[in-house]
Structure 1
Amino acid sequence: MVAALVLAGTRPGGDPFAQAVGAAHKALIVIEGQTMLARVVEALRAAECAPVIVCCDEGPVADLARALGAEIVPPRSGPSGSVLAAFDQSGAPLLVTTADHALLRPEWVRELIDKAPGEADLAVMLAERARIEAAMPGSRRTYLRFADGHWSGCNLFLLRTPRARKAIETWAVVEADRKRPWKIVARLGLGNLLTYLLGRLSLADGLARLGRRFGAEIALVPASDGLAAVDVDSERDLADVTALLARRG
């Protein structure tokens, strides 16, 4: 059984996006009659993840999480600290996602779990730009440019082994520099940076090299559905996702 962690913290002073749409917290934004947090928790349960743990402060989000049958861990300093706290509580394997992943499907969760290589300590799901644009034309994502194309993160990570403790720090580094891929590659040394700048470094190879440098095996699991990279982080995202779900009935 794979445990799952939903990151549902918020920045000091509240989330401007949530405030703009009249919600007390981003996780409580309602889409087609259901909060984003409920959508995520239900998808994880449908994927047979257990237990489901929600990282959030005490308050309405924690109340909802408990009503959904989830366990609670309080946020720590930064996402990596919160993941580490949940990892200490649940152990490996632990799947990590976010409360704003309103389109999350159990098939994507199972795809990451089932396709993660056996030797990987950390598996990361990303989607190719062509798949994302085909699934949701006009969606604005942050892309990493590699030799094998442009990729965007799906907010889906699988910490597979006890060695994933080392990978948590690597994950935090990648997240901090997610909009500056050259800086991520620069951590691998001059030779790897030049390989990247010359357009010869694939995403899978870059993740593998990054993991080896930090003492963990990191593997890429490409998303078969481009929608896996679409979260709800702005009013435009909210409108796009609401329209998509309304069309699907």
Structure 2
Amino acid sequence: MAGFTALVLAGTRPGGDPLADYAGVSHKALIDIDGVAMLERVVVALAASPQVDRIVIAIDRPEVLRALPGLQSDAVGKPVSTMPTEDGPSATVSSALAREATPLLVTTADHALLRPQWIDDFLSVCPPDADVVAALARRDVVEAAAPHTRRTWLRFSDGDFSGCNLFLLAGPGAAGPVSLWRELEAARKRPVHLMRRLGWLFALRYRLGRLSSARAAARLGELSGNACVALVSLRDGRAAIDVDKPSDLDLVREMIATGRAA
């Protein structure tokens, strides 16, 4: 199915981004990798997917994009527009959902290794009845692609997974999970409130390694007004490698320089 609008989260934090400071740029999205800004790489990958019709970049200062040749209309070949960011990624996605409606494909500007095939593979395995779908990659395929990468693992009873920064807001119930995301994001520094909201039994089962990924998705759906939430696994472990810290940046630069990203 074609006709997707893709949203790229490219804003910076209100107090600045440590990785952007480390790289000497105003926004993490502008970090250079082999002569190309990360955001340009993401937009090129999205534009190369036949599933994507148009691209929206959420950024707090759109003027910083004018100097990026890879974002010019003749280079992209598909419509590219910008929208303002809100207070945090979940709020920005909520605003984009209200503005663009579904289906909305969401990714991030630090997904520098993103490839059109991953996008197409992801969309091909999204359940047709799902309201929201998130892409994950199994630990074994991630570590096979990058043995020394350090990721945050979701430890379910059916395996360890890492997020791939690819989401599809697909159905009419998508607003519910996005609203829950905003609530959980706001409570991330209040663990007791967070556990109470998710449910103590749910949290305990996860802690003990007895919670499956399917049950976790079902619980999130229950807490989102009975939306249908799905987690799907991608085959290429590189899809889980984003750029959150200096070691990630070094890894991605090395992978691109040596051809391991191709």
TM-score by length of 2: 0.86
Q: Could you tell me which residue of structure 2 aligns to residue 146 of structure 1? A: 156
| Mapping for residues 58-137 of structure 1, pairs under 5 Å | 58-63=61-66, 64=68, 67-68=72-73, 69-137=79-147
Write out per-residue CA displacement over residues 55-97 of structure 1, whole angstroms, 9 at most, x where no aligned residue.
0023443434863552111011211211122112221000111
CA distance in 1, matches of 2:254, 2:198: 42
Q: Could you tell me which residue of structure 1 aligns to residue 237 of structure 2? A: 226
CA distance in 2, matches of 1:58, 1:124: 28
8 Å contact from structure 1 (residues 56, 62) kept in 2 = no
Q: 2:54 aligns with which of 32, 51, 54?
A: 51
| Amino acid of the structure 2 residue aligned with 1:11 | R
8 Å contact from structure 2 (residues 6, 104) kept in 1 = yes
Tell me how far 1:187 sits from its aligned partner. 3.6
8 Å contact from structure 1 (residues 146, 200) kept in 2 = yes
Write out per-residue CA displacement over residues 100-125 of structure 1, whole angstroms, 9 at most, x where no aligned residue.
00000111111221111111100000
8 Å contact from structure 1 (residues 123, 159) kept in 2 = yes
8 Å contact from structure 2 (residues 40, 71) kept in 1 = no
Q: Could you tell me which residue of structure 2 aligns to residue 243 of structure 1? A: 254
Paired residues, what number?
A: 249
| Amino acid of the structure 2 residue aligned with 1:218 | V
Write out per-residue CA displacement over residues 165-188 of structure 1, whole angstroms, 9 at most, x where no aligned residue.
112123345666889999877644
8 Å contact from structure 2 (residues 164, 240) kept in 1 = yes
Please give the root-mean-square deviation of Cα atoms over the aligned residues, in Å. Answer: 2.5
- Report % sequence identity: 48
CA distance in 2, matches of 1:106, 1:62: 22
Q: Could you tell me which residue of structure 1 aligns to residue 76 of structure 2? A: none
Cα distance change, pair 14–196 in 1 and its aligned pair in 2 (3 A)? closer
CA distance in 1, matches of 2:94, 2:190: 24
CA distance in 2, matches of 1:179, 1:136: 31
CA distance in 2, matches of 1:12, 1:52: 24
Q: Could you tell me which residue of structure 2 aligns to residue 24 of structure 1? A: 26
Q: Could you tell me which residue of structure 2 aligns to residue 199 of structure 1? A: 209
8 Å contact from structure 2 (residues 155, 206) kept in 1 = no
Structure 2 gap ranges (5+): 74-78
TM-score by length of 1: 0.90
8 Å contact from structure 1 (residues 100, 232) kept in 2 = yes
Moved more, 207-216 or 94-103: 207-216
Tell me how far 1:14 sits from its aligned partner. 2.3
CA distance in 2, matches of 1:93, 1:151: 25
| Mapping for residues 143-222 of structure 1, pairs under 5 Å | 143-173=153-183, 187-215=197-225, 216-222=227-233
Write out per-residue CA displacement over residues 189-221 of structure 1, whole angstroms, 9 at most, x where no aligned residue.
344344334432111221122112222111011
| Amino acid of the structure 2 residue aligned with 1:247 | T
Structure 1 gap ranges (5+): none
